[in-house]
Structure 1
Amino acid sequence: MQYESASVSERRTLPPAVAVSTVAFALAPPKDATLDSSTSEGLDPTALWIPLVRRTRAPFRDMWALPGGPTRWDETLADTALRTLHDAVLRAPGYLEQLYSFGGVERSAQAQRLVTIAYWALYGEGDLAADPAATPQPEHSRSQRGRWDDPNGVTALHSDQSRDEPDSNVAWFSADRLPELAFDHGDIVAYALSRLRSKTEYSAVAHRFLGRTFTLAQLRQVHEAVRGQAVDPANFRRQALAQGYLVDTGERETGTHYRPARLYRFAAEAAPSENTPEQQHPQQTSPHQTPPRSRP
C-alpha cells in the first residue's frame, strides 16, 4: 500500500520505509566538483569535505541533504549506499562502512516514517582523480531508476545530462561549515565526524586517503583534516617517525619547484586488511555507542 493513498488510520499501521544515507569524506573535492559558495577564498587544507545533494521535492524541498535514498527490494544496504553515492559523485569510494541506524519517530516531518541506515565512506585522492566515464556504473543507477530522492524511481534525468556529467544539484562542502540540512542529516554528519575523529589509529584512516607513497607533509594533512586543526610540523614529524609504522622508500618527489621531499610508505603490519573490505562486510555499530538525539 502506498503511503500517499492510505487513510489516516491505515498510515498508523504501515511499517516504516527503509533508506540509506552516506557521509562521504575526502581531503579535497574532485576537480570537476561544484563547491559551496563560501569556499571562494580557497580550499581549507585542514578540513574534510563531503558531497551534499539539493532536494528537488517535499519534504525539505531545496534544502541540502546527504546522498542516499530508499533501498530497493533487490539491493543490499551497502549496494544502495554505493549506488546513490555514485549517482552524486560519479565515482566509487575506496572505503565504505556502516555507521548507525537513525529511526526517530519525528525525523520524517509529515511524510511516512523513515528509518535510515547511515554509512560513511572515504574517498582517496586516486578515487576522485578517476575519470567518471571510465568508472563502472553500479547496477540500478540513476540513469536506470531515476533520481536519488525520488521514492518512486520515475524521475528521469534531463535529456541533455549524461551520467558522466556532474549534477547541478550536487555540491561539496567543508564538513565544519555545513548549511542547515534536511531531516536529521546534520546529526548524522556530526556523528560520523565524531566517530572518525575518535579513532586512535589515524594510520588506518590515512591509508584510505593517501596513495602507495606519500610525503610527511601529505600525511600531516590527513591528521589535520581528521582532527580539524593544524599541528606543529616538527612535532608531527618526530612523532610519526618514532611510531615505527613508516618506511622510507629512498625515493623523493618529482616535478616540484622546491627541494623534493622524501617519500614514505606504510609498513605492512600497519596496513588495514585487504581481505575484509567494508563494501562487502559492513560492520555493525557496537551497542554501547549512542547516536545524537534527532532534532524535532
Structure 2
Amino acid sequence: MNYTYQYPHPAVTTDIVIFSVRDNALQVLLIKRGGEPFKLVGLAWRICSHRRELDECAKRELHEEAGLEDVYLEQLYSFGKIGRDPRERVISVAYFTLTPSEHLKPSAGTDASDVKWFAISELPELAFDHAEIIRVARERLAAKMEYSTIGLQFMNEEFTLSQLQIVYEQATGKTLDKRNFRKWILSLDLIAETGKKFAAGAHRPAMLYRIKDPDRVDIIR
C-alpha cells in the first residue's frame, strides 16, 4: 500500500564520536569528507534507512570506518537544528565510543577521502555542527568519569597505573593526586597485577595490570 504525505520527511543519521587516548592526550577520530557540502573533516556518520534500527546503523558505521566491533557505544543526544545540513532537514542521533587506538583499523569510506586522529584541544574547522556534537560528547565523558569506571574502556589488555591515571586526567581535564588515585582504583577490585613490569626510559619499571572482568568496567560506583 502506498502512502503520500503533505510535508517532506527529514533524513535521520547516526553520528559517532570515537574517543581514544593517544600520545597522552584525549583524541577523536575524524574523517575528511570527499564531497559537498563542506569538504572538511567531521565525524563518522551514516544515513539510517527505515529498515535499520539506530543502534544497528551506528554499529555498522563503526565497523566500516574504524574496524570496531563489540565496543562500548552509548547514545548521546539528538541534534536537529534547522539548517544544520544545507541539503535537507537532517536529524542526527549522536553516539560516542571509547577504545584503545590500537584496536582501531580506520579506513576512509565511500564518502570520505581520509581518516585521522586529532587532539581534542586542537580540532580543525569541522563540517556541519560536528564541533558542537564533540563538545557535548566530551562533557558527557567527563561527567561519567566522575561517577563510573568507564575509563577502563580506554585501556589495552595490559597497562600501568600511571597510564590509567593519564586517561582519567585527559578525559576529565583535572590533575589527580597519584596516591589517592591509586588507592581508589585498587579499592574497586576491578584490576589485577599481571606479574609483569613495563620499563620506560630511566624510570623504575612499573607493574602491569589487567582488567579482571571486562563486563564490569562501566559499573556505577
TM-score, normalisation: structure 2:
0.80
Please name the residue that 2:160 is paired with. Answer: 215
2: CA distance, partners of 1:202 / 1:269: 14
Please name the residue that 1:55 is paired with. Answer: 33
2: CA distance, partners of 1:173 / 1:123: 15
Residues 248 and 117 of structure 1, relative CA distance in 2, 3 Å threshold: closer
Query: Are positions 1:118 and 2:94 aligned together?
Result: yes
Q: 2:148·2:218 contact (CA, 8 Å) conserved in 1? A: no
2: CA distance, partners of 1:49 / 1:88: 16
Q: CA deviation at 1:263?
A: 3.1
2: CA distance, partners of 1:209 / 1:173: 16
Query: Are positions 1:90 and 2:67 aligned together?
Result: yes
Which structure has greater strand proportion? Answer: 2
Please name the residue that 1:252 is paired with. Answer: 196
- SS of 1:169's partner is strand
1: CA distance, partners of 2:92 / 2:214: 35
Residues 230 and 270 of structure 1, relative CA distance in 2, 3 Å threshold: farther
Please name the residue that 2:10 is paired with. Answer: 16
2: CA distance, partners of 1:123 / 1:244: 21
1: CA distance, partners of 2:215 / 2:16: 27
1: CA distance, partners of 2:197 / 2:128: 45
- SS of 1:79's partner is helix
Larger Cα-atom Rg: 1
Query: Are positions 1:182 and 2:127 aligned together?
Result: yes
Please name the residue that 2:185 is paired with. Answer: 240
Q: 1:207·1:271 contact (CA, 8 Å) conserved in 2? A: no
Q: CA deviation at 1:97?
A: 1.3
Structure 2 unmatched runs, 5+: 1-5
Q: CA deviation at 1:262?
A: 2.1
After alignment, is 82-91 or 188-197 more displaced?
82-91
Residues 244 and 70 of structure 1, relative CA distance in 2, 3 Å threshold: closer
Please name the residue that 2:3 is paired with. Answer: none
Q: 2:44·2:61 contact (CA, 8 Å) conserved in 1? A: yes
- SS of 1:253's partner is strand
1: CA distance, partners of 2:218 / 2:117: 30
Report percent identity of matched pairs: 33
2: CA distance, partners of 1:114 / 1:71: 11
Q: 1:22·1:81 contact (CA, 8 Å) conserved in 2? A: yes
